[in-house]
Amino acid sequence: MQGKAFGKKKGGGGGVKNNNSGQGMADALAEITKKSAYFQQIEEDVEKYSKSIYELKGAIGKFKTKDMNELLQFYKEVESVLENLTDETQVLARIEDFPTKKLEALRTSSTLYSKLESMIKELKNLKIEPPLPQLLDKVSRSFTKIYSSTNLVLEDKTRTKKPILDLLGIIAFKAIFQELIKMLKLCHNFQIKGDIDALERTKDEEAKIFKGYNIEFDFQIIVRIKETMVDVSSDCMELALKERREGDGQNKNGGVKLLWRVFQFAFQVYTFAGGHDERAEKLTQELAQEIEKEAENQ
């Protein structure tokens, strides 16, 4: 009797209790959600902004551009609507067939372009003025930030692993100079294509995704960043040569070390940009001649 009663309780009553409990929890959850101030606000947003959101839905669907300024302006208008929503994801999920994937592409492309554009602005805003050591610190920081942000890492064709400046205490001054010139000539002997890093490796893939949503992204901005970096490097070389030639001979060794720092920076920029323009080429040769003069006196 006891065994049968126990079995009945386990098989019958237990099962019914679990089903009722599950349904009860679902009902309770639905009731909590219904009464939640958060979800009530979402429903209010859907009702309040539905006209704007449906207009936005149509505008995003039709949007196509090759003009990056137009892209940035349109995205700004999109955000002016979406920023009012308590929870963008929850609200848009209640709008039938809202183009969330295209919104994602708009957001990604405009954010990327703004970031790249800000790099050019930062470089152009650099004040190329004495004192040279502090200037080199500043431009080197900007270069490092931009280099790591764009991830434009080129393959090291020279296989030189030690930083140039670290060699100063290891081999003779003239030998260092000759090694640097050799490295520079090696760089001239092959066409640097930018053997492909994170941004440039994904550039074509990103372009296809953006194009799939009628956004033709202008990746030429990467070239503009490189050209602007070359201009900054040239300005630094120009200032270093001017200070060197106008100096009174005091702190000569310190001046030579600065020339080496500028030369190293110019070499890094050369590698990053994939070459020099005519002005940078001329200044590099002049800088090399100044260093060679010192090398001959060692």
pLDDT tens sequence across 261-295: 888 888 888 888 888 899 999 999 888 888 777 66
Q: Give me the chain's average pLDDT, please.
A: 74
- Using pLDDT thresholds of 50, 70 and 90, give the confidence band for residue 216: very high
- Rounded CA-CA distance 173/257 in Å is 11
Is residue 194 pLDDT above 50, yes or no?
Answer: no
Average pLDDT rounded to a whole number, residues 51-80: 97
CA distance 58 to 60: 6
Is this structure's pTM higher than 0.75?
no
The Cα 175–Cα 54 span in angstroms is 70
**Cα 217 to Cα 271: distance, rounded to the nearest angstrom:** 25
Give the integer Cα–Cα distance in Å for 9 and 211.
65
- pLDDT value at position 179? 45
Q: How far apart are CA 114 and CA 69, in angstroms?
A: 10
Q: What is the pLDDT of residue 183?
A: 44
pLDDT bracket for residue 165 (50, 70, 90): very low
Q: What is the pLDDT of residue 131?
A: 59
How far, CA to CA in Å, does 110 sit from each of 81, 89, 117, 128?
16, 19, 10, 30
DSSP 215: B
> Can you give the residue ranges of every domain in the chain?
2-97, 114-296
